[in-house]
Amino acid sequence: MSNPRDAAFSFPTLYGQKQVTRRRLIIHAKLCLSVVALVANGAAHARPVQNGTAATPPMGWNPYNVFGLDYGEEEVISQAEMLTTLGLDRLGYRYVNVDDGWWLRRDGDTIRVRTSIYPSAALPDGTTSLQPFVNRLHAMGLKAGIYTDIGRNICSQRWQPGSPNLPEGSVREREVGTYGHHQADAALLFAKWGFDLIKIDACGVADFAADVAEVKQGQFRAFRPLIARERPNLSEPVELARQYAGFVDAAWRASPSIPPLISICAWGQADVNDWAPKYGQMWRTSFDISPTWRSMLFNFDSSAARALFAGPGRWNDPDMLEVGNGEFDQRNLIAARAHMSMWAIIAAPLILGNDLRRMTPAIAKIIANRDVIAVNQDPAGNQGVIISKSGDGQIVAKAMSRPGRKAIALINRGRKPIALSVSVADLGLSPAGALAVHDLWTGHAVATPPGRVATRLAPQETRLLMLDGQPLRQAIDMPADMPARFDVADEGYKAPDRTPERQWVLASIGFLPYGERLMLGRAHDHAGLGVAAGSRIGIDLNGEYQSVSLAPRMPYTGSGRFEVRGDGRVLAKGVASTKVHMLSLDVRNVRKLELVAPSPTRSATTFAWHRILMKRAAFSANASGSPIPAKSVAGRGEVRHEDR
Ligand code: GLA
């Protein structure tokens, strides 16, 4: 007999009508409530993560992409020496990380290092310590990174059984992951050994279920998965976040003066964007990269759509660079530059993954391009925003600190030449004002047709340009000018099929959660946000703005109650429908603006905040170009509807 709670209903998605069972929605609603509870508790549980660490995207080197598990101290130190010899450290590449494979076994609350590959760890008293190794890196002016797993066991134990560097001993001795040992491990790794960064992987809470053959054979203890890789809706984000919070709290306690940089490796699973920014400075958004064009694009996409989650101290991580490897090697310099451009424009951590000792001068030139690195490291911390995507062409724009300055990447994802063009206005710049355009790979000025940027692109080519122009509207900012000032919280709805492949995104500029373009009439609304129903979008206005105009709207059908709050006070509320009603709000002295979307209903799971235009307080009243006439600025708590 069918369960009435499984009654199906449908909602529109990019891929057509989607069937969802009510039971699944109930599960999602419960999950969401617990995530909210967790976030509310989070403040007490872990200290605020904005501690100045990773104010710009972290840069460094990691052995995994090129060496897998087959490396040790000598290899790492010689790569570190290359960083300093080539001056890459002075360009920002400072974190030198150890990945999986450094341990021999766990002895209760201590971990024994595999001294066959880390000989300096063997101390005269018979104990082991990575402190001498860390000291060597520090003496070179570099920072040292280490690796653990949030579960009992580690990725290599499950996925690389042939590795010579797997933990040894009894079932318990081989449990080198940090589960159940947060305090002791943090004291060892940070207070005692002095590491500056830790990558915290998650295979231990994903891949050791009771039905796994090796678990059944008694090689490992069973761990009920908190990450259900193939069935993301069955993952347990609340418990997973609690585990990360516990370790991070211990890490901060163990190193109160300079907290370590926390790199969360949960592959974009278990709603990592909802909680990771609280506990880590970077979090993976997808599975492991491999040195192929296809894999690189997949990982790029997983981070590129999430611009509103990133900012100083919190970065989407599409994984380490493959520049110099495989399809991005010396024979594929166009693709290598494209890969580097893409990571730069989306403010991704730049963690090199190639063998620096065997790198050709052309590859070295790519990773050492100062202008490209400057795009990535801009202090405003804005992640580039997708402006358009059609066929193989894609355009991403990153607002730089200087007003009127935008970096743009024009990307050819395909294997045929294409032409791409974008209007300057769609990039948020004035078509009438002077515009200087520079190609950051050639270093040359580029001529452009009036009001547009247009280019031809070879297969797999990305052109990375710096545009210096005038803002489209004087003293008015749009979301794409300041994505780092946004934060995204979720109070109600989870897409039932948010697999990495589906790329469901809670909130983004110019697109709805399933990737449909956000349309206003027949125009793509580059100044609007597409969000999930039940979401709450925070914008740090910091008292710098005087008014905000926007139009809350149901993108497809139905109606629902929305709210706009300023520092917790209701500035506007009402019922949004598919009609466009512009609101103008007085936000003088408001530090945090919050846009609260209607709760989800059967037919309406997405919502739109159209044309968000934020007028700076310092702007004089008689300057031209303001889309918010003074008379239409509503008083506090008052809402004015203006039909368009
Ligand atoms: C996982 C991570 C990788 C790497 C390996 C090591 O797969 O995602 O980045 O750390 O484990 O085994």
Give the distance (Å) from ligand 1 centre to CA of residue 293. Answer: 19
Query: What pLDDT sits at residue 118?
Result: 98
* Ligand 1 residue neighbourhood (C-beta within 6 Å): 64, 99-100, 155-156, 201, 265, 288
Q: Is the model's pLDDT at 17 over the cut of 60? A: no
Query: What pLDDT sits at residue 15?
Result: 24
Distance in angstroms (rounded) separating the CA atoms of residues 546 and 389: 34
Distance in angstroms (rounded) separating the CA atoms of residues 184 and 22: 44
Distance in angstroms (rounded) separating the CA atoms of residues 122 and 302: 41
Mean pLDDT confidence for 247-256: 92
Q: Is the model's pLDDT at 347 over the cut of 90? A: yes
Distance in angstroms (rounded) separating the CA atoms of residues 398 and 384: 4
Query: What pLDDT sits at residue 209?
Result: 97
Query: What pLDDT sits at residue 602?
Result: 82
Query: What pLDDT sits at residue 644?
Result: 25
Write out the two tokens for 510. 């110019």
Distance in angstroms (rounded) separating the CA atoms of residues 475 and 471: 8
Distance in angstroms (rounded) separating the CA atoms of residues 315 and 302: 12
Question: Confidence class of residue 6 from pLDDT cuts 50, 70 and 90?
Answer: very low
- Per-residue pLDDT of 554-584, as tens digits, reads 999 999 999 999 999 999 999 999 999 999 9
Distances (CA, A) of 615 to 122, 404, 432, 495, 630: 62, 15, 20, 34, 11
Query: What pLDDT sits at residue 357?
Result: 98
- Tokens 């469901």 identify what position? 504
Mean pLDDT confidence for 416-432: 96
Query: What pLDDT sits at residue 233?
Result: 80
Query: What pLDDT sits at residue 256?
Result: 75
In this structure, the residue with its CA closest to atom 3 of ligand 1 is 288
Closest residue by Cα to residue 610 from 512, 533, 538, 494: 512
Give me the chain's average pLDDT, please: 88
Give the distance (Å) from ligand 1 centre to CA of residue 397. Answer: 30
- Per-residue pLDDT of 494-538, as tens digits, reads 666 666 566 678 999 999 998 999 999 999 999 999 999 999 999
Distance in angstroms (rounded) separating the CA atoms of residues 420 and 102: 47
Mutating to test ligand 1, I would choose from 66, 102, 149, 201 the residue with most ligand atoms within 8 A of its C-beta, which is 201
Query: What pLDDT sits at residue 554?
Result: 96
Mean pLDDT confidence for 181-190: 98
Q: Is the model's pLDDT at 478 over the cut of 80? A: yes
Q: Is the model's pLDDT at 43 over the cut of 60? A: no
Query: What pLDDT sits at residue 501?
Result: 61
Q: What percent of the chain has pLDDT over 90?
A: 80
Query: What pLDDT sits at residue 633?
Result: 29
Query: What pLDDT sits at residue 504?
Result: 78
Closest residue by Cα to residue 291 from 267, 325, 336: 325
Closest residue by Cα to residue 91 from 137, 135, 60: 60
Which residues neighbour 449 within 8 Å (Cβ) at sequence distance 6 or greater? none
Question: What burial letters (b/e) apply to 50-67, b meaning 16+ CB within 10 Å?
Answer: eeebbebbbbbbbbbbbb
Closest residue by Cα to residue 384 from 450, 275, 301: 301
Distance in angstroms (rounded) separating the CA atoms of residues 145 and 102: 12
Query: What pLDDT sits at residue 213?
Result: 97
Q: What share of the chain is helix, strand, coil (3-state, %, to 5)?
A: 25, 30, 45
Q: Is the model's pLDDT at 390 over the cut of 50? A: yes
Give the count of beta carbons closer than 10 Å to the beta carbon of residue 411: 28
For this structure, is 497 an active site residue? no
For this structure, is 201 an active site residue? yes
Q: Is the model's pLDDT at 307 over the cut of 70? A: yes
Query: What pLDDT sits at residue 479?
Result: 98
In this structure, the residue with its CA closest to atom 1 of ligand 1 is 155
Closest residue by Cα to residue 340 from 294, 292, 373, 308: 373
pTM above 0.85, yes or no: yes
Single-letter amino acid, residue 380: A
Query: What pLDDT sits at residue 300?
Result: 97
Ligand 1 atom with minimal separation from the 147 CA: 10
Query: What pLDDT sits at residue 275?
Result: 92
3-state SS class at 122: strand
- Per-residue pLDDT of 583-641, as tens digits, reads 999 999 999 999 999 998 888 889 999 999 999 997 433 333 333 333 332 333 333 33
Mean pLDDT confidence for 350-364: 98
Query: What pLDDT sits at residue 489?
Result: 82
Which residues neighbour 5 within 8 Å (Cβ) at sequence distance 6 or greater? 21, 22, 23, 26
Give the distance (Å) from ligand 1 centre to CA of residue 79. Answer: 19
